[in-house]
Copies of this chain bind each other. A is one copy, B any other.
């Protein structure tokens, strides 16, 4: 019986991987993943076999990785960002069910809430909510309710999957919901292609965000009532009284 590592790669560059993630991949015979993520790292591990599946074949990909591990291989299933946060770790455990074999180890990675916040300044110094705008697996009504609740409770908000080819207007719809509660001038930021070619950042207001152009490589940050821009950085003060 082999072992299956579910590895969070972080944003995609080697520098933002953890020491443990790098070591786990080096110890494996095969790398399994969505082809975009496998392509990000395969040049660094040229001696490994790679197995990829298309984006919507998540369960097939996980079954393939579990089968390989059952057959005796040490396998790295790679995920961008964290392997748990919107990643494959839960699906691996779900498919393994009540069996304790093959052995599974989840190796966390930097999720875009952390890496995107660092690119924009420090917008997550206080309580925050993370919401995916993808309604492929979640009813839009649930997303809407979560956005509304998060705005009303003054959370900073991080939006994952703000757009894709199939849903180009989700960010606009999300902003319209948030603007029922939050002011137009609320400071926001977009982190694009974090740690990859074309990395960039944009600071803007919630009113401007409604019309911003985003794609699946963007992560969006909406400040709380204390968030401000200082020295070109988007920051949410924690509230230290002696500042």
Contacts and interface: CB of A to CB of B under 8 A. Distances in A.
- State the number of copies, please: 2
A171 interface: no
Given A132-B127, A238-B86, A18 B20 contact: no
Dominant SS at the A interface? mixed
B89 A125 contact: yes
A94 to B, nearest CB: 6
Nearest to A91: B240
Contact of A130 (B59, B128, B132): B128
A18 B7 CA distance: 13
A58 to B, nearest CB: 5
A179 to B, nearest CB: 18
B89 A121 contact: yes
Contacts of A92: 122
Interface of A: 8, 10, 14-20, 22-23, 58-60, 82-87, 89-100, 106-111, 113-115, 117-118, 121-132, 137-138, 142-143, 145-146, 148-150, 152-155, 230-233, 235-243
